[in-house]
């Protein structure tokens, strides 16, 4: 590199480069620093990120238009060919090439999702723990994950109702079982520590994955963030204060409600409930009371928002799950895979 064109070469080296998307099944080739691939899918598609030619290259693969999931195979010079899947528009993943003495390898240095988690700070950020407060429970078969004495409170209509961590369950599970076959027999579990609160300038993200097993119609349930309350006997399945997804007995509609001192703002029929696992989440945008927005997500797909959300009387919140029999013949169950809540400090 001659001195007369050194500034030009440095400028080119440090400027992001946007190669053309080669299309489904094709290779992504990084031949310079800061390659940024903008991928558009029309259906379920694949790409291959070719092995890096040298060390210390950074590149980003981003899904900018989502017509179907993108499966990215990462060719890193070794025998392994790991894959990652980008599911939503706005999802991205960042790589850095490193040299280990024999080969150049791609290593993931950051990622971000589309959908619910698109604007959430990344755990890859070294300051993540000081930026956010997070609660996550994967309900492994460990007493610490469901500490019914010190961490969680169970409220039961029938003394035989049960809450148990499932032994050897893939990814971990907490199983709630209504033992009685009486109509409206219910139980709930709620986290004792209320450490989240809707507040101006403090965006919040909630997500839980769970299922019910004994039919999708004759059942009530609620799941979300609530100021401590017993919902087992509440007919509309909505708290006095909190934000919950809920389903009413007799239909299969997934609804969401934000409740402030008993005033409910709802977004109804966001999805259809059945007996398979579903992932339900919402994002609170941190707007002031009376102008905040809550965006719900059902299995990664955004639904109709709740606007003009108020929270003037809403105090601290904690996760809650409630399940109730819808008839006198069925013992309902709820199986919770995980719950995650993140809020800016």
Q: How many CB atoms lie within 10 A of CB 104?
A: 17
Topology of domain 3-113 in CATH is Jelly Rolls (2.60.120)
Contact 221, 323 (CB under 8 A): yes
Going by the DSSP 8-state scheme, the letter that residue 265 receives in this structure is E
The DSSP annotation for 164-195 comes to EEPTT-TT--EEEE----STT-EEEEEES---
Strand partners, 37: 61
With a threshold of 0.85, does the pTM exceed it?
no
- Say how far apart CA 200 and CA 309 lie, in whole Å: 11
Chunked into runs of 10 residues, the chain (345 residues) has average pLDDT values of 55 72 95 94 94 93 91 74 78 89 86 79 87 95 80 92 87 92 93 97 97 90 97 96 96 96 95 94 96 93 92 97 92 95 97
pLDDT of 11: 47
- Say how far apart CA 136 and CA 159 lie, in whole Å: 28
- Say how far apart CA 14 and CA 150 lie, in whole Å: 53
Going by the DSSP 8-state scheme, the letter that residue 196 receives in this structure is B
Instruction: List, by residue range, all CATH 2.60.120.200 domains of the chain.
Output: 132-344
**CATH number of this structure's domain 132-344:** 2.60.120.200
Q: Which two tokens stand for residue 39?
A: 């991928």
Backbone Cα Rg of the chain: 24
């Amino acid at each position: 590199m001659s001195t007369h064109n050194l500034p030009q070469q440095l400028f080119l080296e440090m400027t992001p480069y946007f190669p053309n998307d080669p299309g489904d099944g094709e290779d992504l080739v990084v031949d310079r620093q800061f390659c940024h691939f903008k991928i558009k899918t029309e259906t379920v598609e694949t790409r291959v990120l070719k092995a890096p030619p040298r060390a210390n290259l950074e590149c980003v693969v981003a899904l900018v238009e989502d017509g179907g999931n993108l499966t990215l195979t990462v060719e890193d010079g070794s025998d392994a060919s790991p894959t990652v899947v980008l599911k939503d528009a706005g999802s991205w993943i960042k790589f850095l090439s490193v040299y280990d003495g024999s080969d150049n390898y791609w290593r993931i240095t950051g990622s971000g999702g589309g959908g619910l988690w698109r604007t959430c700070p990344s755990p890859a950020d070294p300051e993540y723990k000081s930026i956010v407060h997070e609660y996550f429970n994967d309900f492994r078969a460990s007493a610490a994950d469901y500490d019914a004495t010190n961490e969680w409170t169970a409220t039961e209509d029938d003394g035989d109702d049960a809450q148990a961590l499932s032994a050897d369950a893939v990814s971990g599970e907490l199983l709630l079982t209504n033992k009685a076959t009486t109509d409206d027999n219910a139980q709930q579990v709620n986290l004792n520590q209320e450490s989240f609160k809707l507040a101006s300038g403090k965006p919040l993200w909630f997500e839980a994955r769970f299922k019910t097993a004994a039919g999708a119609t004759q059942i009530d349930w609620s799941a979300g963030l609530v100021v401590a309350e017993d919902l087992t006997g509440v007919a509309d399945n909505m708290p006095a204060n909190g934000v919950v997804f809920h389903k009413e007995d007799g239909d299969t509609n997934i609804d969401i409600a934000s409740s402030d001192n008993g005033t409910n703002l709802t977004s109804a029929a966001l999805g259809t409930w059945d007996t398979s696992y579903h992932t339900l989440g919402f994002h609170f945008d941190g707007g002031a009371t009376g102008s905040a927005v809550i965006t719900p997500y059902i299995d990664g797909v955004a639904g109709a928002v709740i606007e003009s959300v108020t929270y003037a009387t809403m105090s601290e919140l904690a996760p809650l799950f409630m399940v109730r029999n819808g008839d006198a013949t069925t013992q309902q169950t709820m199986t919770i895979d995980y719950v995650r809540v993140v809020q800016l400090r």
